[in-house]
Structure 1
Amino acid sequence: MTFTRAELDYLSDQFLGRLATVGPDGAPQNNPTAFTVVQETGTIDIHGLAMGKTRKFHNVRRDGRVSFVVDDIASRTPWKVRGLEIRGVAEAVEGVEPPEPYLSREVIRIRPTRIISWGLEPGQEDMRGRDV
C-alpha cells in the first residue's frame, strides 16, 4: 500500500491540495486543486472542468515531475499543523470516465515516489519522509 492508514484517513477529510508542476521554461507552477485518492492503485487523481486545456495538464504531459501538498491547521491553541507532501511522477491521461458528469475526460494521475508527512499521528510533530 502506498499510503499509511493515518495518511488515508487524513486525505479522506481534505478537499483541497496544491499541485506544483514544471513549466516549459523550467520554473515551477503551483495550482490549488481538488483531488481523489485511488486506494486500489495508490495514486492521486486530479480532475477538472476542462483539464485538457490547462497549463498544469500540458506541463505534466511534457515533464511528469510533480509535488502535491495537502495541509491544514488543526489547532491554533495549541499550535498544531498537519499535512503531506507527495512527490512523484504524474501522467496526463485522456479518455477517463469522470467521477462527475460535469468534469472532463482528462485526468492528472500522480504515482508517488516519496511521501513526507507531519502531525498526522499522536506525538508526530516532526516531518517523516519515506520512499515508496
Structure 2
Amino acid sequence: MSVFTEAEIEYLRSQLLARLATVGVDGRPGVKPVGFLVDFATDEFVIGGYVGSGMAASKKFRDVEANPDVALVVDDVANIDPWTPRGIEIRGRAEAHTTGGAEIGERLGSAFAFDAAWIRVSPRRIVSWGIEGSSFEFSARDVASLPTSKGV
C-alpha cells in the first residue's frame, strides 16, 4: 500500500518539475528546481541530472551528503480564475548516490539518460493542498519510517 492517496499519485504522475530545499554545510538554506521521478514501488522520489551534467559536483548533491533533511515541493496552478493552487510537499530524508543513476533512470522511464550520480528522497511527512479538496484545505500526515531501498 502506498503512502500516497490515489489522487496524489495521479497528480505526481502529471507533473515534471519540483523544487528541492536543502541546507548547506554553512547552515544556509538553498532551493533548486529539479526534475523528478517517483518510484511507486518504494514511494521514493528520484532526482537525477542528465548524463555528463556533473550531478555529484552540484550544491544540492553536496548539501544532501552533509545534511540529509530535505523538503521537495511539487506544485502548480490548476486555474487562475478562480485562483486554484495545488501541490504536495514532501519532508524527508535524502541519500546521495554516486553510482547507479543510469540504471535507476532507465528503470523508472526517464526521458533522458541519467548521470551516474543521483539523489533518493524518502518521505517522512506529506502535506498536500488542492489535490483532494479545496486549494485552501491542507492534508498533512506523517509517514512511518520506511526502510531505505537497497540496490537500484
Provide the TM-score with structure 1 as the length reference. Answer: 0.94
**How much does 1:95 deviate?**
1.4
1:82 maps onto 2:86 in alignment: yes
Match of 1:117 in 2: 128
Q: In 2, Cα distance between the equivalents of 1:124 and 1:18?
A: 19
Aligned length: 132
Q: In 2, Cα distance between the equivalents of 1:21 and 1:123?
A: 29
Determine if contact 2:48/2:101 at 8 Å carries over to the other structure: no
Determine if contact 2:85/2:135 at 8 Å carries over to the other structure: no
Determine if contact 1:35/1:46 at 8 Å carries over to the other structure: yes
Q: In 2, Cα distance between the equivalents of 1:97 and 1:55?
A: 18
Per-residue CA shift, 1:26-55, capped at 9, x if unaligned? 111100000000001110000013211101
Provide the TM-score with structure 2 as the length reference. Answer: 0.82
1:63 maps onto 2:67 in alignment: yes
Match of 2:150 in 1: none
Q: In 1, Cα distance between the equivalents of 2:47 and 2:98?
A: 12
Determine if contact 2:84/2:135 at 8 Å carries over to the other structure: no
What residue ranges of structure 2 are gaps of 5+ in the alignment?
A: 144-152
Percentage of pairs with the same residue: 42
What is the Cα-based RMSD across aligned positions, in Å? 1.4
Determine if contact 2:86/2:135 at 8 Å carries over to the other structure: no
SS of 2:8's equivalent?
helix
**How much does 1:94 deviate?**
2.1
1:131 maps onto 2:132 in alignment: no
**How much does 1:102 deviate?**
3.6
SS of 2:64's equivalent?
helix
